Amino acid sequence: MSTNQEDPISAPHALSQSETTAAEPHADCSSTTSPWLWWCIALLTALGCLGFSREIHSLWIVWTTDPLRSIGILIPPVSLLLTLRVWRQSGWEMRGTWWGLPLLASSFAVSVLRSSIVIWVVASNGILDSIPVAIPIFLYGCGALLLLAGPRTVRKAWFPLGLLLLCQPVPSAFSLLDFPLQHAAANIARSFATLIGFAPSTPQLRLMFSPRFGMFIAPGCDGIRGAVTMGYVALLLGYMKRVSLRRWMAYVAGAVLLGYLFNFTRLCVLVLYYRMALGHPALESAAKWADYCIGSSLFLFATLLALRLLRGLKGASTSQAVSANTASSARSMARMQSPVLKCAAFAAVVGLALALPGSALRDHTQHTALQVSYADRMPKTIGDYALSRTWYEQIDGTTMVQAGAYSLPGADEIILAIWVSPSGNLHNGNDCLIVRGLQPTALSSYPFTMAQGKTVDFRTGFYNDGITDRIVANAVCGLSSCMQFTPGILGSRFEFEYMAFERQKAHPVSFWVRIDRLASEAPESNVHALLTTELQRFLAGLDASQLSQSFQ
């Protein structure tokens, strides 16, 4: 009786004699496919990625400038390798369906839609893009595989294809957790230092442990990076080991928690190192490398521990039955004409997508023709205010923001900043401050009258850090209209923002205005009123349409 039972672990990896025989038509199908056809498929797939140069460039900036999201750079190659692995296990079958063509076309259409219609949903202090940057890439991967390999392979490759949705591995809303987690990490480290008799009484240790004094325990110390990395490692290992869904979810959640708890351990060990290094210049100068060594060692230990726990779950792995294919060899040979036609259709869709006026390839050509310097485009005067100085902000050599300071005798300096990043034309100045940990005392939509009597709703925030009173107002404008902020159906904390522009005429230009002044003892309402009045005086001379035209 025992000989008729299958090992639940080895069953997915081994085929019975009948299954091996039934799978032979797939091998015949693969062997009759010419090598030039595989080269053609690879070339077409790579060429089609040019249709998403906007999304790829945007993701590249995120991966290379944000340490928290840098793990996303590994997701596309991992997705590709796992997809090829599934396809190979299916015998490289070419049983594609023409339903893949609509998916391919829709992927390019969504890419064009993202560049011409901007839809955001704002919830409290977070922003959700209703058309995420990874959607076109996901549709493209699904469409190409469905067109060439067929629905059976697509079903088997659900996880590798789903990984493409995680090209932006951490949602922007997670940035709102940064400051609270930093605060918690600082308090844990400070409490541990007190526990071992190393109370943070000196200015240096106050700087290290107190969130109010410069925060040596910076964003990299909040534990999110380690938790996210451990979560993705567990996600991949759970798929490779084929654990059950319930255990898989528990395993991923446990790995995230483990990564976060090990960050607390790292901070406590770092406190011990500081205690030991105090008074020894050689050890003090190596504190940064000690932090790296402690963190990497603990991360390695956490990974090995997670692997050990996963081995204990192997008994619960689920078997995936390999469906038998009873198609005859003659039918397989008849289908060999189909991949050639599908590749031709694939090439036609890619060529059309790259040739259309709104394509990413043409958009890239237009961007490369733009001037590198935007200083000359800043208005020389805005009402009674005159431009006194200009500057720009860059990331990896790419200009992201062009700013200018405007002054008036006896008045505060006013900053006008325009978002000129080629990766996108929307940027919210208030959200930029919020994710950095500066919480507004008030944040709402406020109408301001601009040049020619136009009334525009600006997203307006007031801030006070104990030293500076600040007002920040931002909007996104085209040649004839500006973004409106209207309350959504879920109440005042939720808003729905919509703006559509014809790409051939103009793209939206995001800008924000900021006024800083020394904090006063006046009531908060009075300070807000004074800043609002001063900002209104400045905006009364600003022509949003002309500004948008200048930065096209």
Residue whose structure tokens are 């080629």: 422
Contacting residues for 538 by C-beta, under 8 A, at least 6 apart: 382, 383, 385, 406, 414, 513, 515
What's the average model confidence in pLDDT over 314-327? 41
Q: Which of 53-62, 178-187, 513-522 has the lowest mean pLDDT?
A: 178-187
Residue 406 pLDDT more than 90?
A: yes
What pLDDT is stored for residue 25 in this prediction? 42
Distance separating alpha carbons of residues 153 and 172, to the nearest angstrom: 33
What's the average model confidence in pLDDT over 170-181? 68
Residue whose structure tokens are 């081994």: 14
Distance separating alpha carbons of residues 546 and 519, to the nearest angstrom: 34
Determine contact, residues 326/22, Cβ cutoff 8 Å.
yes
What's the average model confidence in pLDDT over 214-243? 74
Contacting residues for 129 by C-beta, under 8 A, at least 6 apart: 119, 120
Q: Residue 15, Cβ neighbours under 10 Å: how many?
A: 14
Contacts 24+ apart (CB under 8 A), 333-336: 333/28, 333/32, 335/29, 335/94, 335/95, 336/29, 336/32, 336/33, 336/94
- Which pLDDT band, with edges at 50, 70 and 90, does 457 fall under? confident
Distance separating alpha carbons of residues 526 and 534, to the nearest angstrom: 12
Determine contact, residues 513/538, Cβ cutoff 8 Å.
yes
Most confident of 55-69, 346-360, 386-400, 535-549: 535-549
3-state class (DSSP) for residue 464: strand
Distance separating alpha carbons of residues 536 and 550, to the nearest angstrom: 22
Q: What are the strands of the beta sheet with 117-123, ordered from one edge? A: 126-129, 117-123, 491-500, 486-488
Q: Is the pTM of this model over 0.75?
A: no
Determine contact, residues 146/100, Cβ cutoff 8 Å.
yes
Determine contact, residues 513/473, Cβ cutoff 8 Å.
yes
3-state class (DSSP) for residue 118: strand
- Which pLDDT band, with edges at 50, 70 and 90, does 504 fall under? very low
User: Does 394 or 103 have the greater pLDDT score?
Assistant: 103
Q: What is the percentage of the chain residues whose pLDDT exceeds 70? A: 69
User: Does 83 or 127 have the greater pLDDT score?
Assistant: 83
Phi first, then psi, for residue 194 (nearest 5°) are -65, -40
Residue 478 pLDDT more than 80?
A: no
What pLDDT is stored for residue 487 in this prediction? 36
Q: Which sign, positive or negative, has the C-alpha torsion 436, 438, 444, 448?
A: negative
- Which pLDDT band, with edges at 50, 70 and 90, does 135 fall under? very high
- Which pLDDT band, with edges at 50, 70 and 90, does 429 fall under? confident
Residue 83 pLDDT more than 80?
A: yes
Task: Output b/e per residue, 229-246; b: 16+ Cβ within 10 A.
Answer: bbbbbbbbbbbebbbeee
What pLDDT is stored for residue 30 in this prediction? 46
- Give a three-class secondary structure readout of 233-262: HHHHHHHHHCCCHHHHHHHHHHHHHHHHHH
Helix then strand then coil, in percent of the chain rounded to 5, is 55, 15, 30
Contacting residues for 409 by C-beta, under 8 A, at least 6 apart: none
Of 163, 197, 185, the closest CA to residue 83 belongs to 163
Element (H, E) at 186: helix 178-195
Q: Residue 519, Cβ neighbours under 10 Å: how many?
A: 14
Distance separating alpha carbons of residues 187 and 223, to the nearest angstrom: 13
Residue whose structure tokens are 């067929």: 150
Q: What is the mean pLDDT of the chain?
A: 74
